[in-house]
Amino acid sequence: MNLKGILFDMDGVLVDSEEFICEAAICMFREKGIEVKAEDFVPFIGMGENRYLGGVAEKYHVPFDQERDKRRTYEIYEELTKGKLKALPGVHRFIEMCRKKGLKIAIATSADRVKLETNLRALQFPEGTIDATVNGLEVEHKKPDPEIYLVAAQKLGLHPEECLVVEDAVSGIKAGKAAGCKVLAVRTSFPAEQLKEADWICTTLAEVPPEALKW
């Protein structure tokens, strides 16, 4: 079998956090005196908060202090998510199955480390479940650039072509394919017709096509 590692995106793949980061971002802009809408953020899903927030700031032609505004958004996000973040359907069982198959596991998220840590605390994986993580502060180029998945594979000691990327966003699928990985798309954030670049598509990780783990 060529498959040796799984590279998971985080938001929309492992944890249902999109509504919370969107609400936090809306609150942050409201504090700046700007009313934005949830649909404004859709084009920037999966690209990391720099672009997620910055893209909407550009749309409304408002000043964007990347570090300050991002920090404030994460503060609001942490408050909003207390006791509310949950693993998406099938996550724990799928990861347990991957571990039993001897596959290495990495999480590669465009989000900053603070959001990664907040979400991992909520997911409560048993110690030793995750072999490596990569967050947005560790890479220069964000998705759809392949850098984050190249770094994740390297951290696992694997070649990209030995890895399966699990993604929910169009930009993430492009990143995974550009890195040379095979890609499994989860229909959490986008309809299937927008995920066609992926090798396989599933509704949740409870319904992964068997062939996605047999190559």
Catalytic residue numbers read 9, 11
Write out the H or E segment, with its range, that includes residue 120.
helix 113-123
Which residues lie closer than 8 Å to 183 by C-beta, 6 or more apart?
164, 165, 166, 167, 173, 176, 177, 197, 198, 199, 200
CA-CA distances (angstroms) from residue 207 to 24, 78, 132, 185, 197?
Answer: 31, 30, 25, 11, 19
Q: Is 101 helix (H, G, I), strand (E, B) or coil?
A: coil
- Measured CA to CA, the distance from residue 50 to residue 131 in angstroms comes to 26
Which residues lie closer than 8 Å to 32 by C-beta, 6 or more apart?
62, 69
